[in-house]
Amino acid sequence: MVIAIIGSLVGVLLPAVQSARESARRVGCSLNLRQLALAAIVHESARRRLPAGYVSESDRQPVDSGSLDRPPGTGWGMLIAAYLEETALADRYLPEAGIGIGAAENQPVVTASPAIFRCPSDGGPSTPFEVVTESGSRHPSGALLGRSSYVGNAGHAEPWADPVDSWAGLANGPLYRNSWLKLGQVSDGLSKTVFLGEHTQRLSQKAWAGTLPGAASHPSEAFVTSVGSEPDGAATLLLVHSGPAEGEADVIHPPNDPVAHVCQMYSDHDGGCNVALGDGAVRFISELVNQDVWAALSSINGGEGIPGDAY
């Protein structure tokens, strides 16, 4: 009888303990995102512009013919590192070296895994990953990159699908290749625009430091098997989009969409994911959010006029 009673109590208490632990992890994740968002705001205050999603310099080689990406590939995470008490990493990074993020001189920096870039609930791998091409072959640089649970919002479209020099006019989110926006350009309002969000390493590789021309983000075997996810371009090591994209007028990817792509937000929290808004606030967005509201939150200048109780 005593054993039966103890077993019953354990069965009742264990879910509550697990729920409390996940609640604590979700709070830890939201604190990480808040610090990242505030660092981006401080970057704008100090340098008169927000960090770019990542940097591609027109006079650098090599150039990827499919995307026109070029070095150094410095990502938004590296650009704000100095404002996150990661000055030691930021000071050691050499964007001018070789191919930037992929240069041998930068490997000790870009393979690091600062804790602030990791969601406590992320159930994916934590060790640095080898950069590969879209075909799955090893990238010519042989580079390894430290992982991140957080990604930047490029807006509705996936401009990395087009071989164009400038994404201006294609991307309508706050972070994209060479974006360098000012806060004043976010005309929808900072409190109604998603800057950053989650992407679990269980789905695909994401990096905090940057990306390389010709690289790709590959889904894990589990997501390839379950929903048929496919690899996507170098930008998706750092950035995601919400949809609708060109040619897919009705396709929007809310957080934790069951049809999981490497270029969408997806967390290991039950029911949705944390996002950081442009004013530094962090909100938990339900996976059942109205899809039009999610798309509106993902653009900087759509003029949708979202009510505060819609998300």
Mean pLDDT for 212-234 is 91
Mean pLDDT for 141-145 is 97
Whether residue 256 is predicted with pLDDT greater than 90 in this model: the reply is yes
Sketch the domain layout of the chain as residue ranges: 22-304
> 289 falls in which pLDDT band (50, 70, 90)?
very high
Predicted local distance difference test score (pLDDT) of residue 16: 52
Q: Which amino acid is at 271?
A: G
Percent of the residues in the chain that have a pLDDT greater than 70, as a whole number: 94
Predicted local distance difference test score (pLDDT) of residue 2: 62
Q: How far apart are CA 50 and CA 102, in angstroms?
A: 24
Predicted local distance difference test score (pLDDT) of residue 7: 57
Whether residue 142 is predicted with pLDDT greater than 70 in this model: the reply is yes
Q: What is the pLDDT of residues 74-114, one digit of tens each?
A: 999 999 999 999 999 999 999 999 999 999 999 999 999 99
Mean pLDDT for 123-146 is 97
Average pLDDT over all residues of the chain: 93
Q: How far apart are CA 198 and CA 194, in angstroms?
A: 11
- The more confidently predicted of residues 15 and 298 is 298
Residue 227's Cβ-count burial label (10 Å; 0-12, 13-18, 19+) is middle
Predicted TM-score of the model (pTM): 0.92
Beta bridge partners of 245: 248
Mean pLDDT for 21-45 is 95
